[in-house]
Amino acid sequence: MQVYTKTSAKSSVVHIGLDDTDSTRGKCTTHAAYRITDYLLNHKFSEFVDYPLLIRLNPNIPWKTRGNGAVCLRFRTAYHEDVLDRLMDLVDHERLVASGANPGIAVYCGESIPPSIQSFARKALYDVVSRKMAEELAKRHQIRFFIDGNGQGLVGSIAAIGTLLQEDHTFEAVAYRKQEKCGTLRKLDSAQVVQYDTETFPYTFNNYDRSHHRVLILPHGPDPVFCGIRGESAEIVVSALRKLQISEKLEGHMVFRTNQGTNQHLQNEMGFADIKCYTAGFSQCRVDSRPTVIEGGHAIFSVRDPVGAVVNAAVYEPTDLVNIAAKLEVGDVIKIGFGVRKPSSKHLRILNVEYLQVLETKEIFETVNPICLTCNKRMKSEGMNKGFRCHKCGSRNKDAKKILILKPRMIETRLFVPTPRAHRHLTKPVHRYGMEKSLRSTSAITLCPAWFSKT
């Protein structure tokens, strides 16, 4: 592991960014953050000035392992040199960072985060940023960093430090398993999940997918996370966790403040002309070709932006939005949130649609035969320019013409989001629209007493 020990300016707030760390208990950056937090709280050197932040970065990065998560811990201490030395001992001794992954740990000391680190973090949410750019920032702002493998973890660790999350955010209480339990089946009574979901929704969310009868709070891998409960405040996610009465003896829990469930990666409006692969954003555009449903049940159609650039878009089967997308017609005005998929030998560059808002539907007319004036039935054509005849009463009308009628559009003008089981971490559930919150400043945060526990 390379260790850079440039001395930082003296300051009382320490910001630690972690990404792609690999603990001996399984692979999970949030668990490494849990162990470091435990250490910091135990040694009473430090007072946390914010909840640990769990930041989901650009979900379209091809080299991510799972949810492209990075963590930032911010605490005030009078002895930060001392704390950092001990922290590095801990990282080494506990092997919180093991080889095999590409971990990054970055440490910045300062009362506030410089704007250039904040804009780097904003870019890392929807674009691909280079490790070189991260290294330059580190040099410029005297960020100490520790990297291994290809060093790519530095990007996420600095991006986590640069994300203040003063805009919309949510919370997640993550419960951790004891080491000996990792890799064994997680036992949970799904009826209890349904019950606390009923009691706490919409203040907790993505607990249970009622249409597919699936518990959503359990991961499936061998990692140390037992479950994660998402919601609107630290208090509600901890109280929901307690309602679960988990029988397995756990290591403890920690509450993260997070950008999960906020669509934070889709805030950038994009034109289609020079769109880059792996980026994410939104566009208000027009449907340019009628959707076709291809093998696998996905809907493919093209969209045209306001300056006329056209690109293909895909709505995938697991989102449960294909039936909606299939009803779009050329000329409909829609807003889509999307990630840009790399072109392959089989497909051109394509937008993977993450939400679909139907703003305006085009009037569609169809031509039909005229109605018989005697018996009110639709007449049949007698042939080109020969008029129409009623098959019921036999009356003829040589001058009757085909008529145009407005086709009923079976699509509502509203927002459609994927079904919960197809949600990515950043996907904003439909019920959260209107529930967005913001902070005046991070100094306005008072941590709830139960945000951390160790059993």
Closer residue to ligand ATP in complex, CB, 107/303: 107
Min dist CB 127 to ligand ATP, Å, is: 6
User: Which residue, 58 or 262, is less far from ligand ATP as judged by CB?
Assistant: 58
Binding residue (CB under 6 A) for ligand ATP from 17, 52, 69, 429: 69
Under the binding rule (CB under 6 A), the answer on residue 102 touching ligand ATP is yes
Of 5, 63, 407, 412, the one binding ligand ATP (CB under 6 A) is 63
Q: How many residues bind ligand ATP (CB under 6 A)?
A: 25
Instruction: Say which residue the tokens 């945060």 belong to.
Output: 445
Cα–Cα distance between 12 and 15 in angstroms, integer? 10
Cβ 63 to ligand ATP, closest distance in Å? 5
**312: contact with ligand ATP by CB under 6 A:** no
- 339 lies in the binding site for ligand ATP (CB under 6 A): no
CB 317, CB 296: distance < 8 Å: yes
Asked whether position 57 contacts ligand ATP by CB under 6 A, the answer is: yes
Please pick, from the candidates 14, 15, 16, 19, the single residue that binds ligand ATP as defined by CB under 6 A. 19
Give least dist CB 128 to ligand ATP, A: 4
Phi, psi of 120 (to 5 degrees): -60, -45
Contact 306, 285 (CB under 8 A): yes
**Applying CB under 6 A, does 25 fall inside the site for ligand ATP?**
no
**Under rule CB under 6 A, residue 17 binds ligand ATP:** no
Residue 124 binding ligand ATP, by CB under 6 A:
yes
- With binding defined as CB under 6 A, does residue 224 bind ligand ATP? no
Does residue 165 interact with ligand ATP by CB under 6 A?
no
Cβ at position 247, least distance to ligand ATP in Å: 26
Complex with ligand ATP: residue 19 or 50, whichever CB lies closer? 19
Helix H, strand E, coil C: the string for the chain is: CEECCCCCCCCCEEEEEEECCCECCECCHHHHHHHHHHHHHHCCCEEECCCCEEEECCCCCCCCCCCCEEEEEEEEECCHHHHHHHHHHHHHHCCCCCECECCEEEEEECCCCCHHHHHHHHHHHHCCCCHHHHHHHHHHCCCEEEECCCCCHHHHHHHHHHCCCCCCCEEEEEEEECHHHCCCCCCCCHHHHHHHHHHHCCCEECCEECCCCEECCCCCCCCCEEEEEEECCHHHHHHHHHHCCCCCCEEEEEEEEECCCCCHHHCCECCCCCCCCCCEEEEEEEECCCCEECCCCCEEEEEECCCCCEEEEEECHHHCCHHHHCCCCCCCEEEEEEEEECCCCCCCCEEEEEEEEEEECCCCEEEECCECCCCCCECEECCCCCCEECCCCCCEECCCCCEEEECCCCCCCCEECCCHHHCCCCCCCHHHCCCCCCCCCHHHCCCCHHHEEEC
| Closest CB 338 distance from ligand ATP, rounded Å | 16
67 touches ligand ATP by CB under 6 A? yes
CB of 287 to ligand ATP, least distance (A): 30
Least distance from ligand ATP to the Cβ atom of residue 228, Å: 12
Considering the rule CB under 6 A, would residue 58 count as an interface residue with ligand ATP? Answer: yes
Choose, by CB under 6 A, the member of 17, 156, 162, 337 that binds ligand ATP: 156
Quick one: 225 or 400, whose CB is closer to ligand ATP? 225
From 62-70, 76-84, 90-98, 391-399, give the range in contact with ligand ATP by CB under 6 A. Answer: 62-70
User: Is 259 a residue that touches ligand ATP (CB under 6 A)?
Assistant: no
Q: How far is the C-alpha of 316 from the C-alpha of 314, rounded, in Å? A: 6
In the bound state, the residue with its beta carbon closest to ligand ATP is 156
| Minimum separation from the CB atom of position 284 to ligand ATP (A) | 24
155 near ligand ATP (CB under 6 A): yes
Quick check: 66 binds ligand ATP (CB under 6 A)?
A: yes
Q: Which amino acid is at 74?
A: R
Q: Which residues bind ligand ATP (CB under 6 A)?
A: 19-20, 27-29, 57-58, 61, 63-69, 102, 104, 124, 127-129, 152-153, 155-156
